[in-house]
Structure 1
Amino acid sequence: MSLKKKALAGVFWSALEQFGNQIIGFVISIVLARLLLPEEFGLIAMLAIFMGLGGALINSGLTQSLIRTENPNDEDFSTVFYFNLLGSVVIYGLVSLLAPFIADFYNQPQLTLIVRVYCIVFIINAFAAVQTTRLSKKMDFRTQMLVSTPSLVISGFVGIGLALYGFGVWSLVWSRIAQAIASTVQLWYWSKWRPLWLFSSEKFTEHFNFGFKLTLSGILDTVFVNAYTIIIGKFFAPAQVGFYSKADGLQMLPVRVISGIVSKITYPLFSEIQNDDIRLKSVYKRIMQMVIFLVAPTLIFIAVLGEPIFRFLYTEKWLPAVPYFQILCAAGILYPIHAYNLQILNVKGRSDLFLKLEVAKKIVLLIVLAVSFQFGIYGLLFGSVIFSMMAFGINTHYTGKFINYTAWHQTKDLLPTILLALFSGLIVYGLDSMLDGLKFHDFVRISICGLVGGGVYLLFSILLQLESLVELKTLIKRKS
């Protein structure tokens, strides 16, 4: 199969998986949010950093090294498999020992047992990390969809069932464990790959030399991405952590759906053309423009409609999360671009520069956090918007050098789309204010404003002949 056909097939199955799973997950989250309290979500959100660290180590840079390696064999895969498995056991042991200290830090005694049970997913997921990597290497996203969707459904049934029987926060814990078990069992069944009884020190050194820098970068990123949750959890009530977590999760939903469709194929796709800088720049630019064409208006529209959306989906008890949500939407617009810029470094084999950029960004984030914390929780949130813009400049530094696509050039390509999305958002804001004054139902407000805003955005995109719209139409025509 040609590269183009593989990419288009990847987009199709990745899109099907993303849309299906996000819709299912979204419905599950709505039901659970109505059954559980914000503080119960807050307790789980406090563990996000530990789950993220475990994920960064288990889905380590070694698996990324496997994807970029040309023709890896069973010796490569088996070596990484056993290293990940051993690492997951060590990580789980350390987290279990630290559980009482984690509970003391947040002043939440019940976290000790929650941590020790919840983090079992480290070991479960380690059994399937290489299987997932092999499927991604082959761009076999159809099989990944056949695994992830049933796993999510099983997780939902477990979580909702336990919540209905009054298990509270434990319904979220066992839901996550059920999803990990279901996913791992299916991946072993569908992938047909089994590790050999061997461990090559030579192969380990080869993958480790590339991957450990990515792992360190992932650890740094996890710590600092969750810095807001840590600070809010330490200095504010669990309910505030729940509000922040729900706002962040809903804000990331369209980003994950839209950018996730493409993100799953970009790394293996970029890897196949890593030595052709002109082609790599062309593909990168087109992907970036298409994603922002969809992400920017979506985030702006849902930010404007935050109040009716939260009240309609989650009920009145979640309305304090609305201002958090609106601010986070502004920070989320550039999220996909950060990831794509860093992927260029990975496919070029420069994980050392990847780590260097991560360190630089974390230093900047520490400064932003130190300043913004002085202004309370809203200061922290506005600080995240400022940091997102600063991180864009940092992430594009080496992209400009490797493929001659600087921050300035990327900004010029993205700005028309973002400005048009803002203009359409102003129209949505005015219309929603009028409908609110006329006491229209929340669902009606969301529907009318969404249709009008989307229509205005699409109309002006056609009139202005936005490059991103042209690329999106070309992709759709090729697939059909």
Structure 2
Amino acid sequence: MSESLKEKTAKGLFWGGLSNGLQQILNLLFGIFIARILNAGDYGMVGMLMIFSAIAGIIQDSGFSIALINKRNATHKDYNAVFWFCALVGISMYLILFFIAPLIARFYGIPQLVPLSRFLFLGFLIGSLGTVHGAILTKKMMIKQKAKANIIAILFSGTVGVIMALNGMSYWGIAAQNITYMLTLVILIWHYSPWKPTLKINLNPLKGMFSFSFKVLITNIFVQANANIFSALLGKFYNPSQVGFYTQGNKWMVMGNTFIASMVNGVSQPVLAEVSAEKDRQLKIFRKMLRFTAFVSFPIMFGLALIAPELILITVTDKWLPSVPILQLLCIWGAVSPLNTLFSNMIVSHGRSNIFMWNTITLGILQFGILLLLHRFGIYAMIIGFATVNICWIFIWQRFARRFIGLRLIDMLKDILPYAFFALLSIGISYSIVIKIDNIYASVIIKFICAVILYLFFMWISRSVMFRESISFIYKKRRKI
């Protein structure tokens, strides 16, 4: 890895991790306030609709944002064509969902979903106006600017959500928070982006990107369907409260997962695309990213599972205790999820979006079948089946990685398993130390401190190169500051 690319990647990981950590802390604080006020049914009402918003957002993007990121020497005409396409499709999708809102409410048997869905669906319509600007910030690795936009949007929208919840507006407060976040984010990324659209509409440049973007579109539809199918099925087979408990547990898992994934994904796609023509070089870079992701992901997600009971009790009170085992099971999958995403980014960097597409479609169909098969056995059986399939899928990704960059199975396991083992060992020892402590505050503090110290100790005695490089980079950043 050349020094310029290495430094660019390191800075991206550093600022991505720092900014996403702050974003997750803000999300956590606002989430605690709102969850203490509202109940599981309120979260369930919004959770049942997220699959429609997510898929509509994917359709309006149609994979063109990733196509722009991967396209070398993209021009104003390319950006302008994608902008107007996304805006027009966003308007069309909103109108369709506006008129079928009664059918959605009838599917769940909840009439109140009609006005709620029509309001909530404004989110992806607003988001369609910022698709290109967000892609440009990613393409140019403007990590600080993206962080500022996200942090301000979280602060503003979180305040709106808390105020509405305090005034007894229940699930409307959650919906308003989502809309406010998207509106604020789009305004800010327009401000930070060096590019602005023009009124001269010419969609011809889309033709050159369509074969790539179409596969990404189909893939992302299945990605979002996979991510939200749980809420939809729970809403159909169970009740809003069950959806709410799942949504709460999943929200905490996503906080930890997003911190890791956003830090890595913010640099992996552009960096891997830059060296896609150099097989040996990309292999070296990819394995380093794989080790770094495992180094961060396993201790964070396993640690979150460790402190889940105390965390839920302290932050959102005992009314949310049913979400604890859900959160713990989801954390197992959440530890591996960023690794799968890293593999998919490598495949896409080679322009093979068709492989990404068929892998995701196959995984989605398999997951859906397993969830339908297991729903009669309860939510925990569904989550175990869901997590097992997703964890095992990393071996499918590895087969394709071997074809493109020569990554052997033994090398992948060497890069991943040591971090998983030491994270589990640290968590296990920490749990055994505090198992007889009744005070939840003392328990969570001791668990956290012990797990961190033990993991760092194991990294030190095992002479982890990734650990030493991370410490060295942070030390250099502090000296510069």
Structure 2 residue corresponding to 1:207, chosen from 200, 206, 209: 209
| 2:383 alignment partner AA | L
Q: Which residue number corresponds to residue 350 of structure 1? A: 352
Q: Which residue number corresponds to residue 454 of structure 2? A: 456
Structure 1: how far apart are the matches of 2:183 and 2:261?
26
Q: How far is 1:159 from its partner?
A: 0.6
* CA displacement, residues 265-298 of structure 1 (integer Å, 9 cap, x when unaligned): 1111111111111111111111121121122122
Aligned: 1:427 with 2:429: yes
Structure 2: how far apart are the matches of 1:244 and 1:108?
19
> Which range moved further: 458-467 or 280-289?
458-467
| 1:20 alignment partner AA | L
Structure 2: how far apart are the matches of 1:109 and 1:403?
53
Structure 2 residue corresponding to 1:445, chosen from 443, 446, 450: 443
Aligned residue pairs, count: 476
Q: Which residue number corresponds to residue 274 of structure 1? A: 276
Note the residue ranges of structure 1 that are not aligned, 5 or more in a row.
Answer: none
Alignment of 1:353-392 (within 5 A): 353-392=355-394
Structure 1: how far apart are the matches of 2:40 and 2:19?
29
8 Å CA contact 1:81, 1:127 repeated in 2: yes
Q: How far is 1:262 from its partner?
A: 1.9
Structure 1: how far apart are the matches of 2:20 and 2:6?
21
* CA displacement, residues 297-353 of structure 1 (integer Å, 9 cap, x when unaligned): 222222122211110011010001111111111111100011000011111001111
Structure 1 residue corresponding to 2:467, chosen from 462, 466, 469: 469
> Which range moved further: 60-69 or 200-209?
200-209
Note the residue ranges of structure 2 that are not aligned, 5 or more in a row.
Answer: none
* CA displacement, residues 11-48 of structure 1 (integer Å, 9 cap, x when unaligned): 23322321221111110001000011111011111112
Q: Which residue number corresponds to residue 291 of structure 2? A: 289
Aligned: 1:135 with 2:134: no
Q: Which residue number corresponds to residue 166 of structure 2? A: 164
Structure 2: how far apart are the matches of 1:247 and 1:189?
35
Moved over 4 A (4+): 477-480
| 1:466 alignment partner AA | S
Alignment of 1:27-66 (within 5 A): 27-66=29-68
Q: How far is 1:475 from its partner?
A: 4.2
Q: Which residue number corresponds to residue 105 of structure 1? A: 107
Q: How far is 1:133 from its partner?
A: 1.0
8 Å CA contact 1:417, 1:466 repeated in 2: no
| 1:432 alignment partner AA | V
Structure 2: how far apart are the matches of 1:407 and 1:127?
42
Alignment of 1:231-270 (within 5 A): 231-270=233-272
Structure 2 residue corresponding to 1:118, chosen from 117, 120, 125: 120
Call closer, same or farther: CA 1:366–1:163 in 2, change over 3 Å: closer
8 Å CA contact 2:62, 2:216 repeated in 1: yes
Call closer, same or farther: CA 1:396–1:198 in 2, change over 3 Å: farther
Call closer, same or farther: CA 1:413–1:10 in 2, change over 3 Å: closer
Q: Which residue number corresponds to residue 6 of structure 1? A: 8
Q: How far is 1:408 from its partner?
A: 4.1
Structure 2: how far apart are the matches of 1:63 and 1:347?
14
Alignment of 1:210-225 (within 5 A): 210-225=212-227
8 Å CA contact 1:286, 1:471 repeated in 2: no
| 2:191 alignment partner AA | Y
Structure 2: how far apart are the matches of 1:222 and 1:353?
17
Structure 1: how far apart are the matches of 2:464 and 2:9?
23
TM-score by length of 1: 0.95
Q: Which residue number corresponds to residue 90 of structure 2? A: 88
Q: How far is 1:447 from its partner?
A: 0.8
Q: How far is 1:208 from its partner?
A: 1.4
Q: How far is 1:459 from its partner?
A: 0.9
Structure 2: how far apart are the matches of 1:335 and 1:397?
17
Call closer, same or farther: CA 1:298–1:190 in 2, change over 3 Å: closer
Q: CA RMSD in A?
A: 1.7
8 Å CA contact 1:68, 1:268 repeated in 2: yes
Call closer, same or farther: CA 1:192–1:348 in 2, change over 3 Å: closer
Structure 1: how far apart are the matches of 2:374 and 2:463?
40
8 Å CA contact 2:60, 2:93 repeated in 1: no
Structure 2: how far apart are the matches of 1:348 and 1:166?
51
Q: Residue 198 of structure 2: SS of its match in structure 1? A: coil
8 Å CA contact 1:290, 1:471 repeated in 2: no
Q: How far is 1:407 from its partner?
A: 4.0
Structure 2: how far apart are the matches of 1:202 and 1:432?
64
| 1:469 alignment partner AA | F
Q: Which residue number corresponds to residue 327 of structure 2? A: 325
8 Å CA contact 2:298, 2:420 repeated in 1: yes
| 1:451 alignment partner AA | I
| 1:296 alignment partner AA | F
Q: How far is 1:474 from its partner?
A: 4.9
Q: How far is 1:112 from its partner?
A: 0.8
